[in-house]
Amino acid sequence: MKYDWLKTFLKLPGGIPTHDTFNRLFASLDPDEFEKRFLDWTSAISQRSQGDIVSIDGKAIRGSRGSGKKSIVYMVSAWAGSNKIVLGQRKVDDKSNEITAIPQLLETLVLKGCVVTIDAMGCQKEIAAAFVEKEADYILALKGNQGTLSDQVQESFRFLPVESTAQENDLGHGRVEKRTCSVVCDLSLVEHKDQWGGLKSLIKIESERYNKTTAKTEKETRYFISSLLLSAQYLNGYVRSHWGVENSLHWSLDVSFNEDLSRKRAGYAAENFSRLNRISLNLLKNDKLSKRGIKGKRLKAGWSNEYLLKILKPENL
């Protein structure tokens, strides 16, 4: 249906390429070269300032697993909350290799002055050191993957004075949530603290969620380590902002782009098409011409050639 319009700027001697032709293209395209072009573009359109939040998290592309195969394409992405764009991403074979993919992703990003948040998988000494080298701050989620460090942080909150506390209340989606943040700056109970580059504070987040539908209350306590020396009020907001990568990126890819339903499995097709989805999401997230949601904007771009051209404006490509 777009043949006449596409002919105005494309040479199409054989007509519109078939589904199989597109599949062969994305299966054969060098993913490293595609990633370089993607990074060049995001660097050109993003404007990060002091204290901006960059969240790093992984997402499995579930449809990439073929019949009888154990492997699945897993992408680690860096999400800039203020710009609402994907700054970069890196493919890993499975979630266990996220530890090696994060440093590779960090090498490609400019993070000076930013605050980077990562889940517990990224709580590694080498990753903390990489942030110091990048002149960025970090907030790393802590679980049992660091041996005795988790116990030492919990003991710090049990026996040492709390520097500051702050509470946030959130109403919506049929629930009431209360989040209390506590900060300890005394690191005397943390062994080998010098091995964690730039470590300055320990953070505890206590969440209490009341579900109006089920009338049940859930409680959860999470711990973090950070290079920041700020009040609990600021740190509470920084920790909460990490979920922007889930709500604004992963959720959008699944709901608006149906990424998990994709069956692209040949060659590099799943990895490359995942990048293409993120490019499209970057463009649509930053479009101010329409008040529609991402799915509505995609439909409008399909219907209106004029709107599509405005989305694909030259200064963004």
**CATH for 83:** 3.90.350
Q: Answer for the pair 49, 12: CB distance below 8 angstroms, yes or no.
A: no
From the CB of residue 246, how many other CB atoms can be counted at a distance below 10 Å?
14
Cα 315 to Cα 45, 288, 311: the distances in Å are: 8, 15, 10
The burial of 177, by beta-carbon neighbours within 10 Å (0-12 exposed, 13-18 middle, 19 or more buried), is given as middle
Which pLDDT score is estimated for 317? 45
Q: Contact at 8 Å (CB) between 230 and 210?
A: no
Single-letter amino acid code for the residue at 136: A
Q: Which tens digits make up the pLDDT trace of 240-283?
A: 888 777 777 777 777 788 776 666 667 777 778 888 888 888 88
Which residues lie below 8 Å from residue 232, measured CB to CB, with a gap of 6+? Answer: 163, 164, 165, 166, 181, 182, 183, 203
Given a contact cutoff of 8 angstroms between Cβ atoms, the answer to whether 103 and 125 are in contact is: no
Q: What per-residue confidence (pLDDT) applies to 62?
A: 61
Q: How many independent structural domains does the chain possess?
A: 1
From the list 115, 140, 108, the residue with the least C-alpha distance to 48 is: 115
Buried b / exposed e over 281-291, threshold 16 CB at 10 Å, is: bbbbbebeeee
DSSP 148-174: THHHHHHHHHHHS---EEEEEEEEETT
The predicted model scores a pTM of 0.76
Could you list the pLDDT tens digit for every one of the 317 residues in the chain? 888 888 888 898 888 988 888 888 888 888 888 877 877 777 666 665 556 888 888 877 765 555 555 567 777 888 887 777 888 888 776 555 667 788 888 888 888 889 999 988 888 899 999 998 999 999 999 987 677 899 999 999 999 999 999 999 887 767 788 999 999 999 999 998 999 989 999 999 999 988 888 888 889 999 999 999 999 999 998 998 887 777 777 777 777 887 766 666 677 777 788 888 888 888 888 788 788 888 899 999 889 998 888 887 745 44
Q: E strands, 126-269, where? A: 137-142, 164-172, 175-184, 201-211, 216-226
Give the domain range for residue 242: 3-316
Please tell me the distance from the alpha carbon of residue 50 to that of residue 77, in angstroms, as a whole number: 21
